[in-house]
Chains A and B, each alone.
Chain A
Amino acid sequence: MRLISFGMILFLFWLSLSGYFKAFLLTGGLLCTLFVLYVSRRMKLLDSEGYPAHLLAAASTYWPWLLWEIIKAGWSVTKAILKPGRSISPVMTRVVAGQHTSAGIATYANSITLTPGTITTGVKGNILTVHALERSGALDLEDGGMDARVSRFERGG
């Protein structure tokens, strides 16, 4: 099941990059797809961590939310850059990742890094070490709003 859906995604990806619909080239694309499928199965890449297909539906609401967070955070970093004088208050802190799977914790850590103004500098178990450009950014993370949102995403909502 996982194999078939991954194969379809791979072939669609090949199609959208090539844009050619001649029989010879299509066969070539199909052969490439099958080869990649064979290799990824052999390397056991298609587990729930390497190919989290079950999170695809949840991602459709999570990504827009994350995009808006990135825009808000990016704007506050932009203001910090343009404000004259010392406008930053760098802080390092630790936060708990409430997720239960590796894919969930990785999503949370990457989301923190992706939003400007906060960077995950280390992960041990479910404790993330974070460097924040502004104190308010660190306090927001400690409040756990993003953590709760990622946990909801991990559960598939």
Chain B
Amino acid sequence: MILLDVASWALILAGSAFIIVGALGILRFPDVYTRMHAASVIDTLGAGFLFAGLMLQAGFTQVTLKLLFILLLFFFTGPVITHALAQAALHAGLKPEIDEDRRDRLRDGSLPDAGRQP
């Protein structure tokens, strides 16, 4: 299937392009927090398009299912890791370089009806 090959290669190339762009962003951006934004392009768009292309190559097989599981694993663990990294940097006292601090628009802490039940 030539059409399938074209589509899969387009997706693989798009994914690779986003990974390069993300790497460029990690080099360009000024501090750890902004660099994490660039890294998140890699593990969402980069990995997503790359895996979509690989799934088209594999077709309806067990390989596609395994690729899907890996992608799901990315999407569930990725934000947790990013969050842990950002919070660790803040705890270590690393000040983000920001143009505007809008944090005081809300008081830190719970509102009266804060939901905590599971």
A101, B118: Cβ atoms closer than 8 Å: yes
For A, the interface residue count at a CB cutoff of 8 angstroms equals 55
- Say yes or no: is B16 at the interface (Cβ < 8 Å to chain A): no
Residue of B40, B45, B97 with most partner-chain A CB within 10 A:
B40
- Say yes or no: is B115 at the interface (Cβ < 8 Å to chain A): yes
Q: Which of A89, A119, A127 contacts B83 (CB 8 A)?
A: A119
Q: Which of A89, A91, A119, A127 contacts B108 (CB 8 A)?
A: A127
CB-CB under 8 A from B90, the residues of chain A are: 121-122
- Say yes or no: is A150 at the interface (Cβ < 8 Å to chain B): no
Chain B nearest CB from A156 CB (Å) reads 16
A91, B99: Cβ atoms closer than 8 Å: yes
Q: Which of A19, A121, A142 contacts B87 (CB 8 A)?
A: A121
- Say yes or no: is A95 at the interface (Cβ < 8 Å to chain B): yes
Chain A nearest CB from B88 CB (Å) reads 10
User: What is the predominant secondary structure among interface residues of chain A facing chain B?
Assistant: mixed
Residues 65-95 of chain B: 1 if any A CB is under 8 Å from the residue's CB, otherwise 0? 1100100000110111011001100100000
Give the bracket for the number of chain B residues in contact with chain A. 35 or more
For residue A114, which residue of chain B has the nearest CB?
Answer: B79
Q: Which of B18, B33, B75, B78 contacts A90 (CB 8 A)?
A: B33
B66, A116: Cβ atoms closer than 8 Å: no
For residue B118, which residue of chain A has the nearest CB?
Answer: A49
CB-CB under 8 A from A138, the residues of chain B are: 102
Chain A nearest CB from B47 CB (Å) reads 11
Interfacial residues, chain A to chain B (CB-CB below 8 A): 13, 16-17, 19, 47-49, 70-71, 74-75, 77-78, 80-82, 88-96, 99-105, 109-111, 113-122, 124-127, 129, 131, 133, 135, 138, 142
Interfacial residues, chain B to chain A (CB-CB below 8 A): 18, 21-22, 24-25, 28-29, 33-34, 36-38, 40-41, 44-45, 48, 62, 65-66, 69, 75-76, 78-80, 82-83, 86-87, 90, 96-103, 105-111, 114-118
Beyond A78-B18, A113-B78, 7 additional pairs, beta carbon < 8 A = A13-B69, A19-B62, A81-B21, A91-B102, A92-B98, A110-B83, A125-B111
